[in-house]
Amino acid sequence: MKVFVIGSGGREHALLWKLRQSPDVTELYCAPGNAGTRLVAENVFIPSLDRSALRTFALWKRIDLTVIGPELPLALGMTDYFEDAGLTVFGPTQAAAQLEASKVFAKQFMLEENIQTAPFEVFEDAEKAIAYVEGKRMPIVIKPDGLAPRNGVVVCNMLSDAVAAIRACLVEGCFKKAGKRILIENCLSGQEISYHCLVDGYNFLPLAVSQDYKRLYDDNTGPNTGGMGARSPVPNVTDDLLQKIATRIVEPTISGMAKRECEFRGVLYIGIMIVNGEPYVLEYNVRFGDPEAQVLMMRLKSDLFPLLAACACGGGLRGARAEFSKDTAVCLVAASAGYPDASNYKEVPIRGLEKAAAFQKTEIFHSGTRMVRDQVMAADGSGTRTVRDQMMTAGGRVVGITSLARNSDTAARRTRHAMSRISFDGMHYRTGVGV
């Protein structure tokens, strides 16, 4: 089977790494990919939003399954566009992707389906929003309606923070169209988990529970990021809790979308806050989390390809099983200087990847990397030039190191030791992930 993965992050590298292990997969392509994905697939240099060129490539290569990694192509209807040409796609339609693409849609959907979530209000007018928060106890959470960098979520501990966040969205237009409406909701406190399940439109298959580390610095300080690390499994997640999530959240979500005639097919990643033993939905995502995908793929023992294909074909998950290692996986992400706020990142050489990869049960999944070809003058002055490949940083989050071990402490220690072998100018990573 020929598989085509769209995206260029650590999530896509992890999916490709796992798909490469399938005996059913004969050809594997990635667009646009990165310097790491080229080690497990053939990179195709087409931007992830150029749907016409991507579909043309898929038709030319007679691709059997296209896997769309990031949320933006899904929100813009790439699944629909591919399916219109008779291609099989893993990923929800544009209508189903509203669960992530519009936070207002998602919250109203939860209310209608009686799914537990934080109380909220929706605003389009800045002055009305400010008047509302002036009467609220802090902390509160402010979110733009649409897709925004790092979700655009601001946890406001002071009234001045809330006013600034409101003005950033509704007056200054920091998130453009995505921030023309905002949600203001109560701030929930508890244990946060990432719940992933595969969905074929009607049936779902739970995957292992994971937990990501969103803040830039240790002790959960600093700005929100796309994720500085992850671990799986998560302590204190009981079978009783998982049953509550399945019956109170997942089942009504799938049936609610089906009765709206936008059946969900793909992976549903639900951010959940556990408050006094009860699960509350923070947000829906319609793709694998990143870096959560990296720890999930490390623990997954089952063949990934037939599971994704069963979702894409619709109704094929009945009776399916996914087996996960009982070991713990911990992922640690290295980021560039200026992350997450910089708009452009300086490209610098990366050193030590081979040493990091030598650690037992450890994989390096690339995000923001690219390979450049250098010409080096011979040291003897002969004028001879040697061509060599040089790995360079090419984005905010650069690489994720994921280790598998019997317990979280051992896995976390191994990732830190492996990460210490890597270096590049301005490199930053957390040291408390998984501890």
Contacting residues for 353 by C-beta, under 8 A, at least 6 apart: 364, 391, 399, 422
pTM of the model: 0.95
Average confidence (pLDDT) over 124-149: 96
Q: At what angle do helices 292-299 and 10-19 cross, to 10 degrees?
A: 20
User: Do both 199 and 301 map to the same domain?
Assistant: yes
Residue 278: closest CA among 371, 339, 193: 193
Residue 97 lies in a domain: no
Residue 342 lies in a domain: yes
Average confidence (pLDDT) over 128-132: 98
Confidence of residue 387 (pLDDT cuts 50, 70, 90): low
Confidence of residue 5 (pLDDT cuts 50, 70, 90): very high
Residue 67 lies in a domain: yes
Is the model's pLDDT at 320 over the cut of 60? yes
pLDDT at residue number 264: 98
pLDDT at residue number 149: 78
Residue 80 lies in a domain: yes
User: Do both 349 and 273 map to the same domain?
Assistant: no
Residue 323 lies in a domain: no
pLDDT at residue number 381: 58
User: Do both 242 and 213 map to the same domain?
Assistant: yes
User: Do both 374 and 343 map to the same domain?
Assistant: yes
pLDDT at residue number 383: 59
- Please state the domain count of the chain: 4
Is the model's pLDDT at 377 over the cut of 80? no
Percent residues over pLDDT 90 in the chain:
92
- The neighbour count for residue 200, using CB atoms within 10 Å, is 23
Average confidence (pLDDT) over 94-102: 98
Q: What is the mean pLDDT of the chain?
A: 95
Confidence of residue 169 (pLDDT cuts 50, 70, 90): very high
pLDDT at residue number 382: 61
Q: How far is CA 7 from CA 46, 134, 266, 368, 395, in A?
A: 10, 42, 16, 11, 14
We report the CATH number of the domain holding residue 351 as: 3.90.600.10
Lowest mean pLDDT among 56-60, 138-142, 278-282, 316-320: 316-320
Confidence of residue 152 (pLDDT cuts 50, 70, 90): confident
Between CA 292 and CA 269 the distance in angstroms is: 10
We report the CATH number of the domain holding residue 133 as: 3.30.1490.20
Between CA 91 and CA 62 the distance in angstroms is: 18
Domain with 24, as residue range(s), is 2-90
User: Do both 152 and 123 map to the same domain?
Assistant: yes
Boundary of a domain, candidates 137, 159, 186:
186
pLDDT at residue number 376: 59
User: Do both 36 and 129 map to the same domain?
Assistant: no
Query: What pLDDT, in 10s, does the model give residues 12-22?
Result: 999 999 999 99
pLDDT at residue number 342: 78
Greater model confidence, 170 or 373: 170
Average confidence (pLDDT) over 366-387: 72
**Cis geometry, peptide bond prior to residue 233 (ω within 30 degrees of 0):** yes
Is the model's pLDDT at 386 over the cut of 80? no
Average confidence (pLDDT) over 183-187: 97
pLDDT at residue number 133: 97
Query: What pLDDT, in 10s, does the model give residues 237-269?
Result: 999 999 999 999 999 999 999 999 999 999 999
User: Do both 180 and 194 map to the same domain?
Assistant: no
Contacting residues for 208 by C-beta, under 8 A, at least 6 apart: 196, 232, 233, 296, 299, 300, 324
Is the model's pLDDT at 189 over the cut of 90? yes
Boundary of a domain, candidates 250, 283, 313:
313
Lowest mean pLDDT among 167-171, 355-359, 377-381: 377-381
Between CA 242 and CA 240 the distance in angstroms is: 5
pLDDT at residue number 435: 87
Is the model's pLDDT at 379 over the cut of 60? no
